[in-house]
Amino acid sequence: MERIEKLINPHILSLQAYSSARSESNLKEGIFLDANENPFGNFNRYPDGNQNELKNILSKQLNISKSNLFLGNGSDEAIDLLIRIFCNQKEDKIGIFSPTYGMYQVSAAINNVDIEEYYLNENFEILEETLKEIISNKNLKILFICSPNNPTGNCIKESKIDFLLENFKGIVVVDEAYIDFSSKDSFVKKVEKFQNLVVLQTLSKSWGMAGLRIGLAVSNPLIISFLNKIKPPYNISLESQKKAIEILKNKKVFEKNINKILNQKEELKKELSGLSFVEKIFPSEANFLLIKCKNSEKIYQELIENKIIIRNRNSQIKDCLRISIGTKQENKILIQKLKEIDEKGIVY
Ligand SMILES: *Cc1c(COP(=O)(O)O)cnc(C)c1O
């Protein structure tokens, strides 16, 4: 782990973490007069800052040890904390593979860290020459690889990520926000093998808990310990932890909903391919479809006027729209409207 320690910002490496009242006593029951809480009310007590019960369930599900698991206020929190742990504002950069999820760049900018932007090829895959460039770039500290990628929907080839894990000297973050919708394997099982790997997952998408704000980082115990050291002490609320524990216990509902979403994705694909203005439907391992259209701006606006909101990605990928998979009823209304747009010929 010496290699990883060398990558950590010196001021973080020597940081004395905040010690909260509850973590010092470590008692679960008793008369609590240690944290200046109000003795009245239903939400008067601070939540478990270590999220022990929630971590018990999640670590069992992922077949990892609790020391391999960090929980953040959404995986967006983990993205920010990783940049703060590893990147020095003056010389370090993060590497991103565009088009991709926007938060890596925003988090870097907030932390005054520069980015190195590599472009994916026409199939949204990492280029061979990009791999070489990355290995020789001395300023790169973290790579953020989103797989399945948002907004393109495809997974990045496992062999390319493996190459980077083996040859890149910095940290490789694999963001698996959509992995439960995918047929591909998670990188979680590779955390034992590669010291420089951090896998991000979230309860926001496949588990349908975006409103609770719970994200996961899976890595070796050293990196996890630093994420825990620098996070706000009570980063996940009491109610969020409680609700998540409740929902996670019902794996049947989770599986049923994923199946529904995947079936609807196939249905939507079929319907979209029948529209004259749809030029391409990109392969998707996620709960959304990216489509290339004639006059995408017009279609986007027309849908908005009918209170159907999809994501306009035209600025990122020319003429492309991203559509999240909704319920059967929602998708039906969307298709109905798109057929109307097609029949009226208003895109031409
Ligand atoms: C939605 C999304 C996230 C955000 O997850 P939160 O846990 O809700 O913060 C992270 N990464 C990608 C690629 C996403 O699309």
- 8 Å CB contact between 206 and 287: yes
pLDDT over 90 (residue 247): yes
Token pair 């559509």: residue: 323
Q: State the pTM of this model.
A: 0.97
Q: What 3-state DSSP class applies to 255?
A: helix
Q: What 3-state DSSP class applies to 97?
A: strand
The verdict on whether omega for the bond into residue 39 sits within 30 degrees of 0, i.e. cis, is no
Which pLDDT value is given to residue 261?
98
Of all protein residues, the one whose alpha carbon is nearest to atom 12 of ligand 1 is 177
Looking at the chain, list the stretches that DSSP marks H as alpha helix, in order from N- to C-terminal side.
2-7, 10-13, 21-25, 52-62, 75-86, 103-110, 128-136, 158-167, 221-230, 238-248, 251-273, 296-305, 328-344
| Residue to probe by mutation, ligand 1, list 80, 204, 325, most atoms within 8 Å of CB | 204
Burial class (CB in 10 A: 0-12, 13-18, 19+), 229: middle
CA of 76 to the centre of ligand 1 (A): 6
Residues above pLDDT 70, as percent of the chain = 100
Burial class (CB in 10 A: 0-12, 13-18, 19+), 246: exposed
Confidence of residue 159 (pLDDT cuts 50, 70, 90): very high
pLDDT digits (tens, 9 = 90+) for 26-85: 788 899 999 999 999 999 999 999 999 999 999 999 999 999 999 999 999 999 999 999
Domains of the chain by start residue, with CATH: 2-19+48-249 (3.40.640.10), 252-344 (3.90.1150.10)
| Residue to probe by mutation, ligand 1, list 202, 209, 231, 311, most atoms within 8 Å of CB | 202
CA of 334 to the centre of ligand 1 (A): 24
Show the ligand 1 pocket: residues with CB < 6 angstroms. Answer: 74-76, 101, 146, 150, 175, 177, 202, 204-205, 210, 215
| Residue to probe by mutation, ligand 1, list 71, 80, 150, most atoms within 8 Å of CB | 150
Burial class (CB in 10 A: 0-12, 13-18, 19+), 167: exposed
Q: Averaged over 178-189, what is the pLDDT? A: 98
* Angle 154-156-159 from CA coordinates, rounded to 5°: 145
